[in-house]
Amino acid sequence: MLSARQVIPPAAEASPRLALVSDAAADLQAVRRLIDPRDNALHHRTIKWLVTLPAGIRPIETGRRYPRIVNRISDLWSRCEYTRLNFQSLLIDRRKGRKGFPSEVKAELEALQHYYFEHLSGLPALLWNAVPVNPPQIPRRVVATNADTMEIVILPL
């Protein structure tokens, strides 16, 4: 990373292959995780999970547009705290200047969140709606133990 004190060699300025990246852009690239190519489609276990949901709650449009998000919700579904934090990270915008999800997707996510809260969480509204001061710590890796089952292993942070 270049700072104001570093000198750029003249050859680097003329080279079309070298580009200077601002500190803010480099920081964003360092934090942003790579998208796994396998997340460009719904996993088999996610489809099995979708079938267990009531027809009016299934996030069909979200699955079409953002399969990795539906895969993640499916993987975290059995872990109440992770599911709650995941919904909050999706629906509460902490980054200013973002457009957010299309209205159909946002409505599906909100309906799914409401269903989870009402029927599965067992948490009082006070705890469910509590927003963490710091960004939530949700496991990044979820590994299926067998592709044909719905068993998963959530790896530590």
Where b means 16+ CB within 10 Å and e means fewer, 32-62 reads eeeeeeebeebbebbeebbeeeeeeebbebb
pTM of the model: 0.62
Each residue's pLDDT tens digit, 11-38: 444 444 444 444 554 554 555 556 667 7
The residues pairing with 144 across neighbouring beta strands, listed in sequence order, are: 152
**Integer Rg of the chain from CA:** 20
* Band of pLDDT at residue 44, cut at 50, 70 and 90: very high
Residue 113, helix vs strand vs coil = helix
pLDDT digit string, tens, across residues 52-108 = 999 999 999 999 999 999 999 999 998 877 888 888 888 887 777 778 899 999 999
Going by C-alpha positions, the residue among 31, 28, 23, 19 that lies closest to residue 3 is: 23
